[in-house]
Amino acid sequence: MVSPGRRFQAEVRNKRLKALVNGTESAEIEARANAARMSISAFVRAAALGEVGDAAQAEALRQFDEIIAKMERSVNAAVLAVDEANRRMEAMR
């Protein structure tokens, strides 16, 4: 239920699970969670529920979108520069 003044109410998570891992596994889990831009808790929960691929794919697509947007801006700037150079050359004739 939504409380007054709040747009949403987070799901209450009050059950704790324990898993023993070694130092290498701990570092790998933390690195993967960071790469997916998730907390370790959210990452482990998603991995255990078979949802981690979706989060990782979504993050990868977000990063690709950023790269493509930067490339589009660069191409647009280059086209404008070429157009301006062509106008100047044409004005010299």
- pLDDT tens track for 24-52: 999 999 998 888 888 898 888 888 888 76
Parse the chain into domains and list their residue ranges: 23-92
- Nearest CA-CA partner of 57 in 69, 48, 65, 68: 65
pTM of the model: 0.49
More confident residue, 86 or 64: 86
Q: How far apart are CA 74 and CA 82, in angstroms?
A: 12
More confident residue, 1 or 47: 47
